[in-house]
Amino acid sequence: MLDIASIRADAPGVANVRHFNHAGGSLLSARTLKIITGQLEREAGFGAMESQPPAAEAVEVARATAARLLNADASEIAFTSSNSAAYGLALAALPPLQRGQRILVGRQEWGGNLSSFEAKAEAAGATVEQIPCLPDGSVDAGALKHMLDSRVALVALTWAPANGGLLNDAEAVGAALAGSGIPYFVDAAQAIGQIPADVHKIGCDVLTAAGRKYLRGPRGTGLLYVRQGFLDRLNPAYLDVISAPWNKGPQVRPDARRFETAERSLALLMGFGEALRQAEDYGIPAIRQRIQTLSEDLRTRLAGIEGVSIEDLGAIRTGIISFQIRGWQAVEAMQELARRQINVGANGLAYTPFDIGARGLPDLIRASVSYLNTEEELAELVANVHDMSRMR
Ligand SMILES: Cc1ncc(COP(=O)(O)O)c(C=O)c1O
C-alpha cells in the first residue's frame, strides 16, 4: 500500500493544481528538487568541474537503480536528455538501411519515431509498414509473424501509446521475433514508471524512457537500454572522450555508455536518480495498481457525462485517458480547464498519426492519472468536464 498522504506532502505542486498531465510531465518531489538545486549551488559555489566527483558517483547509483527497474544490467543503461534523444541515438547507430528493406511498426507508434523512420526509408528506398491490430486495437503479434522476411530491418513498438489508453503486448511481439535476429525497439516513454517492466521478458534489443513522465524525474532526462549482446551491432553516430577514449585510436566503450557524452547535467541526473529511487521504493506494481483503480474509475465517470466520448481502445489499459467534449476543440478545453487550475493535455495527429488517421479522430483531450492523484481530484475534474459539456 502506498502512503499517498506522505507522498503528496513531498510533492509541492499538488497544492497548486489538480494535475492530470503526468504523461506530459509529472510533478517533482521536493526531495528531487532539493537534490537538483543542491548540485547547482555546489557548482556555482565551488566550480563546475570541482563538484563533479561525488555527483558522478550518484549518477552511477542512479544507473544501477534504472537497471533494476528494467531487470537489466547497469552496463546496458545510458542516460540521455529525453526519450527521443535515446531513441534517435540507437536508431542512428543501426547499419544504414538498404533499398527494399522494411521497417514494421505498431499502429500507435509515436509520431517522432515515425518521422525518423520515414525520412530514413525515403532516403534509402525502403518502406515503413504497419503491423495489423487485434479487434481491441492493440498490436497483433500473430499477424506480425506472417510479415517477417529477410528484408525486415527493424520492428518498432510503442508500448504505452501517447493517445488511446491501451497497452500493447510488447512481450508477444518479442516472442514473435525470438530467434529472428531482427532488431526490436520498444518506445516505453509512457510506460516506465507506471507499468512493471522486464526487458528479458519483453525480449527487446533497445528500450527507451523519458525521465519527466511517470518516473517523475526532471525535464531533460531520459534513458536508453541496449541489450548487452546487441551493443556491438550499434555504431554511435558520434563519439567523445567518454564514449570512446582515444588510445592509439578510438576505444569505443563496451557498454551502453558509448551513447553518453562527458558533458551532461549532473544536477538533473542526480534528480533523476532520486526519482528512480522513489519509484523503486514505492514499487511499480503498487503504483500500477493505484493508477489502474483511479483511471478506470475516471474513464467510467467521464463516459457517463452526456456529450463526452471516451476514445480509448485496448483490453489492457494504462493511466492515459483520451476523450472529447462535444463543442470543444481539445486545445480550447485544455485552456478552459487550466483556467480552473486543472491540468490536462491536448493531442493531435502528430502524436500518433497512424492511429488517429485510421480512426478519423480530430484532436483529443488527454487526462493522464498518477498515483499522486486522489479521488477528490478525480471528482473535481469530472464536475468541471460536466459543467463544460453543458456550456456549448
Ligand atoms: C510514446 C512516446 N514516445 C516518445 C515521446 C517523446 O518523448 P520526449 O519528449 O522525451 O522526447 C512521447 C512524448 O509524449 C511519447 O508519448
| Tens digit of pLDDT at every position of the chain (392 positions) | 899 999 999 999 999 999 999 999 999 999 999 999 999 999 999 999 999 999 999 999 999 999 999 999 999 999 999 999 999 999 999 999 999 999 999 999 999 999 999 999 999 999 999 999 999 999 999 999 999 999 999 999 999 999 999 999 999 999 999 999 999 999 999 999 999 999 999 999 999 999 999 999 999 999 999 999 999 999 999 999 999 999 999 999 999 999 999 999 999 999 999 999 999 999 999 999 999 999 999 999 999 999 999 999 999 999 999 999 999 999 999 999 999 999 999 998 999 999 999 999 989 999 999 999 999 999 999 999 999 999 99
Q: Where are the domains of the chain?
A: 4-20+283-389, 31-281
User: What's the rounded Cα separation, in Å, for the pair 371 and 273?
Assistant: 19
Distance 250 CA to ligand 1 centre (A): 32
Q: Which atom of ligand 1 is nearest to the CA of 210?
A: 10
Task: Yes or no: say if 79 and 221 are a contact pair by the CB < 8 Å rule.
Answer: yes
Which residue type is seen at 369? Answer: V
Strands (E), 211-274: 222-226
User: What's the rounded Cα separation, in Å, for the pair 272 and 185?
Assistant: 23
**Hey, how many other C-beta atoms are within 10 angstroms of the C-beta on 304?**
10
Tens of pLDDT, residue by residue over 185-201, are 999 999 999 999 999 99
Which residue type is seen at 189? Answer: A
Residue 1's pLDDT is 87
- Name the nearest CA neighbour of 24 among 369, 284, 336: 369
Kindly state the cell numbers that stand for 259: 551513447
- Name the nearest CA neighbour of 272 among 326, 331, 322, 222: 222
Determine phi and psi for 77, rounding to 5 degrees.
-115, 130
**Residue of the nearest CA to atom 8 in ligand 1?**
83
Kindly state the cell numbers that stand for 232: 556491438
Distance 12 CA to ligand 1 centre (A): 25
Q: What is the DSSP letter of 162?
A: S
**Hey, how many other C-beta atoms are within 10 angstroms of the C-beta on 256?**
29
Distance 186 CA to ligand 1 centre (A): 12
**Residue of the nearest CA to atom 7 in ligand 1?**
83
Q: Which atom of ligand 1 is nearest to the CA of 23?
A: 14
- Please state whether beta strands 184-187 and 206-210 pair in parallel, antiparallel, or not at all (unpaired): parallel
Residue/partner pairs of 262-266 with CB below 8 Å, 24 or more apart: 264/79, 265/220, 266/39, 266/43, 266/51, 266/52, 266/55, 266/56, 266/58, 266/59
Number of H helices, E strands in the chain: 13, 13
Residue 348's pLDDT is 87
Task: Yes or no: say if 73 and 100 are a contact pair by the CB < 8 Å rule.
Answer: no
**Residue of the nearest CA to atom 16 in ligand 1?**
162
Which of the listed residues 79, 190, 347 should we mutate to test ligand 1's pocket, taking the one with most ligand atoms within 8 A of CB? 190
Distance 93 CA to ligand 1 centre (A): 20
Distance 306 CA to ligand 1 centre (A): 32
Classify residue 300 by burial, with Cβ atoms within 10 Å: 0-12, 13-18, 19+. exposed
Which of the listed residues 82, 108, 110, 116 should we mutate to test ligand 1's pocket, taking the one with most ligand atoms within 8 A of CB? 110
Q: Which atom of ligand 1 is nearest to the CA of 211?
A: 10
Q: Please give the full DSSP string across 221-232, using - where no structure is assigned.
A: -EEEEE-GGGGG
Distance 189 CA to ligand 1 centre (A): 5
Topology adopted by domain 31-281? Aspartate Aminotransferase; domain 2 (3.40.640)
- Name the nearest CA neighbour of 24 among 379, 334, 388, 378: 334
Pocket of ligand 1 (CB under 6 A): 82-84, 110, 112, 158, 161-162, 187, 189-190, 210, 222
The domain at 4-20+283-389 falls in which architecture?
A: Alpha-Beta Complex (3.90)
Distance 97 CA to ligand 1 centre (A): 24
Kindly state the cell numbers that stand for 361: 479522430
Tens of pLDDT, residue by residue over 141-176, are 999 999 999 999 999 999 999 999 999 999 999 999
Task: Yes or no: say if 208 and 197 are a contact pair by the CB < 8 Å rule.
Answer: no
Distance 113 CA to ligand 1 centre (A): 9
Distance 378 CA to ligand 1 centre (A): 25
Task: Yes or no: say if 368 and 321 are a contact pair by the CB < 8 Å rule.
Answer: yes
Same fold, 4-20+283-389 and 31-281: no
Q: Which atom of ligand 1 is nearest to the CA of 188?
A: 1
**Residue of the nearest CA to atom 11 in ligand 1?**
84
